[in-house]
Amino acid sequence: MGQPISPRSILIVEDEPFVRHDLADFFEDRGFQVFAAQDADTAAEILAAHTSIRIVLTDVQMAGTMDGVKLAHVVRDRCPLAILIIVSGMGHPPIADLPDGSVFLAKPFDPRHVLDEIERLSA
């Protein structure tokens, strides 16, 4: 498919399984290696095990010890170049709360728009 030898990896963090799986299908169809987590704690474990992941798409409201914003900060601290896309159905969190260079999208969003943002930030 003309992709680089190691496909780009994306971690999708979303607590609604049906939505998580649909997003996973979307990115798999477009050549991504997709990791999925139902909450931020699981996401942190996956990130620790797969250091190649550079793109994280996370919901804000989730069960567990961390919400999506906190997770985004953890990712940013570990990997300054990571592409962070934060989505929520609860409205825009204060800009100051979000890590530098992260992108916020209100739910429902078009995953193609996420793709565009990934292309823009990867360039």
Partner 1 sequence: MIRTQPGSIFDRIIIWSFDRPVSGFTRYTLAALVVAFVAVARILIIPDELPWLLFIPATIGVALVLGLGAGLFASMASTVAGALSIGHAANPYWLPDNQWAAAVVFLVILIGMVMMTGELRDTLRRSLALNAELVERERSSAEREVFLSSVLAASTDCIKVVDLDGNLTFMSEGGMKVMDISDFNAVRGCPWADFLKGNGAAQARAALKAAAEGRSSHFETPADTYIGVPKWWSVSVSPIPGPDGRPARILSVSRDLTALYEAREQQKLLNGELSHRLKNVLTLVQSIANQTLRGAHSIEQASAAFSSRLASLGRATDVLTTTAWQQAELHDVIEAGLSAVSGMRDRIAIDGPRIRLNSHVALALTLAFHELATNATKYGALGNDTGSVTLRWQVSGTQGSACFHLRWQEQGGPPVVRPSQRGFGSRMIERSLGAYFRGRTVLDFPPEGVVFRIDAPLGDTGELIDG
Question: Which is closer to partner 1, CB of 79 or CB of 93?
Answer: 93
Among 69-77, 92-100, 101-109, 114-122, the segment contacting partner 1 (CB under 8 A): 101-109
Question: Which is closer to partner 1, CB of 22 or CB of 77?
Answer: 22
Q: Is 22 in the site for partner 1 (CB under 8 A)?
A: yes
Question: Which is closer to partner 1, CB of 8 or CB of 20?
Answer: 20
Residue from 90, 113, 116, 119 touching partner 1 (CB under 8 A): that is 90
Task: Give per-residue burial for 82-116: e unless 16+ CB within 10 Å, then b.
Answer: bbbbbbbeeeeeeeeebbeebbbbeeebebeebee
Phi, psi torsion values for 85, nearest 5 degrees = -120, 120
Output the smallest distance, CB 77 to partner 1, in A.
Answer: 28
What does DSSP assign to residue 106? E
* SS3 label, residue 31: coil
* Torsion 52-57-61-62 (CA) sign: negative
Question: Which is closer to partner 1, CB of 46 or CB of 79?
Answer: 46
Q: Is 48 in the site for partner 1 (CB under 8 A)?
A: no
Q: % helix / strand / coil in the chain, to the nearest 5? A: 40, 20, 40
Residues binding partner 1 (CB under 8 A): 16-23, 25-26, 38, 61, 89-91, 106-108
